[in-house]
Amino acid sequence: MKTFDVPHIYRSPLITAIKNQRRFQDKMKKDFSPTLLDFGPIRIFLSRHFGFCYGVENAIEISFKTVEENPGKRIFLLSEMIHNPHVNAELRFRGVQFIQDNYGKELIGFEELNRQDIVIIPAFGTTLEIEGKLKALGIQTEKYNTTCPFVEKVWTRSEQIARKNYTIVVHGKPRHEETRATFSHAALHGPAIVVNDMSEAILLSEFILEKTPATEFYKRFKNQFSPGFDPLSDLKRIGVVNQTTMLASDTQAIADFLKKVMIEKYGTDGPGIEEHFADTRDTLCYATNDNQSAVMGMLETKADFALVIGGYNSSNTSHLVELCEEKLKTYFIVTEEKILSESEILHFDLQKHQEVPSKDYLPAIQPVNVLITSGASCPDAIVETVIRRLVSFFPVKRSVEEIISEWSGISA
């Protein structure tokens, strides 16, 4: 796979050495067991896959090169490059201005832009409406389009099945940038609707089976369907695609459920079901799958708690948190600074949508066993600083430097 020129501030000697060796040992990526870093009184189990994915590294490389190659020019980002505060803060520090927030609210009016400006499309992609606005201003975005190729793959698949008269069901968070972009591209070619979760898929099934009056559809799915959508005619043939950062298992469960609904209504299975339900399993992102599978493998290890590192508004990271929380106490942190001391940690509560403190997170018994993973937009350098912070609370038998030397030697 292609390698990218990512600023060294985001790299980690420790994590790089470990990842290189694990890739060498497991070229087919079939081993999802975690990597043990044994410091004696504290043992850290690192997820097999975590951190920057292909799409994120591609976006970072393009963005930072754009800044370096265009001194004196005004450079804008449509919204956050990725959902990581450190990366976005660094771009702001280098003079990049953000046109919108994460939900599409304008921070800078499009009328303030001109054809000499550079506008970078973030990794999530953007809507056709915004593309049109930029083109009307004479702003060329092709060179500065960092849309993840796996997001574009979903768009391509959506177009393919829409042209075969299937309605596109997008599994995603309705307000998320990527979902808005995917919905926009899907709706260009045919009817489209967004379902947030299984409960909304079940609600949709009521309209497919005509158990709920069609008039209720517009109220129940307000702002989640394309113009002119008719539930009586547009739900006869459907295909499910997803926001690439959703839980792959959730997307598959929704697709499987809706397929059964179509079988129930039309009484056909086997090859005949394709008349009403399109096969779209190939739209699931490899990195999302790998990271989530690695977390499941990591959770087979008995541990005292898990740490998940990443931006609090990161969809893919929040799903890793949800997986971990099903098995053990989990702390969601954005940086090592949230580990306030050996007795207190400040972490994000997904249910309360806010940071909360927890006392005595480190058990009194030793060794302490900790599971660690991070989201696809979290720099490896932050993961290393978190490890160093935890290790600093213990009289360790080996230093981080010794661990780095050991893994670097193995890699060599």
- Classify residue 357: in a domain, yes or no: yes
Bond prior to 367 in cis (omega within 30° of 0): yes
Cβ(42)–Cβ(370) below 8 Å? yes
**Residue at 73: amino acid letter:** K
Cβ(286)–Cβ(153) below 8 Å? no
Cβ(314)–Cβ(53) below 8 Å? no
pLDDT in tens, 316-355: 999 999 999 999 999 999 999 999 999 999 999 999 999 9
Let me know if 178 is a catalytic residue: yes
Please identify, among 239, 265, 284, the residue that sits at the C-terminal boundary of a domain.
Answer: 284
- Classify residue 1: in a domain, yes or no: no
CATH number of the domain bearing residue 365: 3.40.1010.20
Residue 113 belongs to domain spanning: 54-144
Q: Are residues 79 and 203 in the same domain?
A: no
Q: Are residues 62 and 105 in the same domain?
A: yes
- Classify residue 318: in a domain, yes or no: yes
Please identify, among 123, 144, 165, the residue that sits at the C-terminal boundary of a domain.
Answer: 144
Q: Are residues 301 and 407 in the same domain?
A: yes
Q: Which ranges in 112-170 belong to alpha helices (H)? A: 128-136, 149-162
Q: Which of 57, 90, 178, 384 is catalytic?
A: 178
The distance of Cα 310 from the centroid of its chain, to the nearest Å, equals: 10
- Classify residue 165: in a domain, yes or no: yes
3-state secondary structure of 281: helix
pLDDT in tens, 16-74: 999 999 999 999 889 999 999 999 999 999 999 999 999 999 999 999 999 999 999 99
Task: For residues 55 and 76, give the distance between their C-alpha atoms in angstroms, rounded to a whole number.
Answer: 19
Q: Measuring CA to CA, which residue among 169, 127, 176 is closest to residue 147?
A: 127
pLDDT at res. 325:
98
3-state secondary structure of 280: coil
- Classify residue 2: in a domain, yes or no: no
Structure tokens at 269: 């299975």
The answer on pLDDT for 410 being more than 80 is no
CA distances from 325 to 83, 114, 243, 256, 362 (A): 21, 48, 22, 25, 17
Q: Are residues 159 and 278 in the same domain?
A: yes
Q: Are residues 295 and 246 in the same domain?
A: no
Q: Are residues 95 and 163 in the same domain?
A: no
Structure tokens at 226: 């394309």
Please identify, among 249, 284, 319, the residue that sits at the C-terminal boundary of a domain.
Answer: 284
Cβ(263)–Cβ(269) below 8 Å? yes
The answer on pLDDT for 135 being more than 60 is yes
pLDDT at res. 270:
67
- Classify residue 128: in a domain, yes or no: yes
pLDDT cut 70: percent of the chain above it: 98
- Classify residue 162: in a domain, yes or no: yes
- Classify residue 41: in a domain, yes or no: yes
Q: Are residues 155 and 267 in the same domain?
A: yes
How large is the C-alpha radius of gyration of the chain?
23
CATH number of the domain bearing residue 87: 3.40.50.11270
Domain count, the chain: 3
DSSP 166: P
pLDDT in tens, 178-233: 999 999 999 999 999 999 999 999 999 999 999 999 999 999 999 999 999 999 99
Task: For residues 223 and 204, give the distance between their C-alpha atoms in angstroms, rounded to a whole number.
Answer: 14
pLDDT at res. 287:
85
Q: Are residues 262 and 291 in the same domain?
A: no
Q: Measuring CA to CA, which residue among 254, 230, 260, 228 is closest to residue 240?
A: 254
Q: Are residues 17 and 31 in the same domain?
A: yes
pTM of the model: 0.91
Contacts of 186 (CB under 8 A, 6+ apart): 155, 158, 159, 162, 168, 170, 192, 226, 241
